[in-house]
Structure 1
Amino acid sequence: MSLNLTTPSLPLRLKRVDFEDPQDSDAFKCKRPRLSQPLSPGLAPCLRPLSQSHGPAGPEKHCVSHIGPYILLELTEGTHTYRAVHRITEQEYTCKVFCMKKYQELIAPYTRLCPHDHISRISEIITGERNVYVFFERNYGDMHSYVRTCKRLQEDEAVRLFKQMATAVAHCHQHGVVLRDLKLRKFVFTDPQRTKLVLQNLEDSCLLHGEDDSLTDKHGCPAYVGPEILNSRHSYSGKAADVWSLGVVLYTMLVGRYPFQDVEPAVLFSKIRRGAFTIPDSLSARARSLVCCMLRKAPAERLAASDILQHPWLLWGGGQAPLAPSHLSSRNYVDQVVPDSVCASSDDSGDYL
């Protein structure tokens, strides 16, 4: 297998190693969480702090393994992602371990996409006897943890970060990749100053064949899932569902809580089906407009990912918007004013993440 993805420090290469820890055979299993699975009591797993991840306990969590030129250190999240260090360059990486039978399917979205500044790239792939080790550049934390720390972001910072997110999603859609399980935790910082984001964890994505983006499986994190996925027994638009999730992302960044949340999954899903939420009056009119344009209950009425990048909030920030630019159609621009529908304003602060 050959991939045309490279990094300045180390070229991407697929190679095989003869040594692999025997205990790894049962440690890494490829699973995809589905909405149809029983939900745990209280908050959904994606809403909890990383410290509650159910990884291996005790010494196994911090055992050191050698894979090719890399040293695998402690688990960083879940049961198959490690912090890794290259023994020669001493450069740090993130290593994901996949079972041999599934890895080609799981990394297919990375190979479909052209290189992009805001999408994580594979640095190297090493195959073992039972598992495949895929190395990515290191990150400096994810957006979920950052929002939990900051409580909420100021609009000027949110504009800079969310534009990078929307650009990554638009690039995926342009190349026939629907993300499905889109959420804050999928975006990670690539610099310690936390100014640059990349989209990672594309393994749950779906590759489209042609223009039809209809999906049938109900896949995703409960807090981010769209109402059409909960209501429909048939197909739904995968791209529109991604835009809804992106709307939840932006709302959470600006407000500090999810637009729809409850400790009981049934109540949470009921709120999502109704599609009614509140936005604090403290947000600018442009910010409220963009949130509402993405969290429209009818999928066909939501902005496309490419249109999100043309929204006045991302182009000019807060304040009064200038006249509509010539490259925006009159309908698109009208759609980007603050609607008088389900998103009523409120000073309700709610619970934080």
Structure 2
Amino acid sequence: MRLADVGESGLVERLLGRLARGPGVVRGAGDDAAVLDLGGKELLLFTVDTLVEEVHFSRAYGSMRDLGAKAMAVNLSDVAAMGGRPVYAVVSLAAPAETAVADIDDLYAGLAGTAARYGVTLVGGDTVRHPHGLVITVALLGLAGRERVLYRKGAVSGDLFYVTGSLGASAAGLFLFQNPHPACPPEVEDRLKKAHLSPEPRVVAGGLLAASGVVSAAEDISDGLALTVAHICTAGGVGARLLADRVPLSPEVRRLGILTGKDPLEWALFGGEDYELLFTVRPGAAAGLEREMAAAGWPVTWIGEVLGPGEGLWLEDAAGAGRPLVPGGYDAFGTEP
């Protein structure tokens, strides 16, 4: 049996059974970040992500500064999904000895610049030689109020699904990098490629959602909307009904879909790397939260509802016809992006 046979989720399940839960562990593996209780006024959030050249990124698509910024941003998104405030980070870099020093300078400028924008201090890390390409690992610590941490588990039947922002732009941008389209307007191409290279973690929005006290479950959309919905439903033992015509797609994503004959909804459902937040809300609190988020400059969109245990995952079109929602998306040991 190979890793390709069990996939990322299968490997994680296999490893979870071997992890001991020590004192102070409020939540270990299975969420966007571990949650630790060190006895202070706030809980500690701990997350880590690795980017591997020609698996998660290609240097042909963007600058080293872009790469550094993205490596930090994907970790910030994990803390955002937990409703936390990021504070400290360390960076591990593996690189060939032939790598230009100027490239590493630019990489760390991107890391440090994004860290500073979100109030994060870089406090160290490690460097090591690697024979084939770059490997960048960022470990990030955050803080969250004891009663304000957002988890994947918590959604119940009748809750409503919401998302921040719009979806599919990163996957559409990657499509353009891999499949240049001469008829694509430059402004559309630029915006979609930027969405792929420079994601914006929703740290402020996550903090507002946590402070509202009405969010029952949350996760960042790093692996596609369909898989993220499946994660929340698996954690809570519930099902889901998503409304296809409610999934927010930017005008640029829709335009590229028309130009290429692709269904733009597919980029939102299965593309990943949007780093928006998917969350659930009790129905009685939804309208108030919508108003609060819009007033704060972070509008959110209702896209479906939570179903009961055993009712499955469904995608419903504008005519009311439903089909099973296959929880596909990025798998670390499956198809490369």
TM-score band, normalised by the shorter chain?
A: 0.3 to 0.5
> Structure with the greater relative contact order (CA < 8 A, sep ≥ 6): 1 or 2?
2
Structure number with higher strand proportion = 2
TM-score, normalization: structure 1?
A: 0.32
Higher Rg: 1
TM-score, normalization: structure 2?
A: 0.33
